Amino acid sequence: MIIYHNPRCRKSRETLEIIRSKGVEPFWTEYLKEPLSVDQLKEIIEKLGINPSQLLRKGEAIYKEEFKGKELSEEEWIYAMAEYPELMERPVVMKGKKAILGRPPENVNELL
């Protein structure tokens, strides 16, 4: 199990706590410090079963400053998230061929 984690995010911390409360210690990475590659983002998006634009944090300053009102293709959104990792919604948890978005944190129970 892998969690793409931001320790400053309450939802991310809550998701990690749920996982640990079930006796699982996931591999975790702080994706803001170690940005994901385009290929990693594509894998996550495929496992989530969503479009790249559905993984965006539209409330982030970088979104408002650089992207608000712009029409990007789904492929271009992936490249934008690779360049600006704070655009990616969090947390994302992957296990095998499945992934969930920890909003709400209880979604992680689907993987446990």
Residue 92 · residue 102 · CB < 8 Å = yes
Assess whether the previous peptide bond of 7 is cis (omega < 30° from 0): no
Residue pLDDT, tens place only, 32-83: 999 999 999 999 999 999 999 999 999 999 999 999 999 999 999 999 999 9
Single pTM value for the model: 0.93
Query: For the chain, how far is it from start to end, CA to CA, in angstroms?
Result: 9
Spatial distance between the Cα atoms of 11 and 82, rounded to a whole number of angstroms: 21
Spatial distance between the Cα atoms of 73 and 75, rounded to a whole number of angstroms: 5
Residue pLDDT, tens place only, 74-105: 999 999 999 999 999 999 999 999 999 999 99
Predicted pLDDT of residue 20: 97
CATH code of the domain in which 49 resides: 3.40.30.10
Helix (H) or strand (E) segment spanning residue 3: strand 2-5
- The domain in which residue 99 lies consists of 2-110
Domain count, the chain: 1
Nearest to 31 by CA among 11, 3, 10, 56: 3
Q: Is 9 a catalytic residue?
A: yes
Among candidate residues 1, 3, 7, 9, the one labeled active-site is: 9
Predicted pLDDT of residue 66: 95
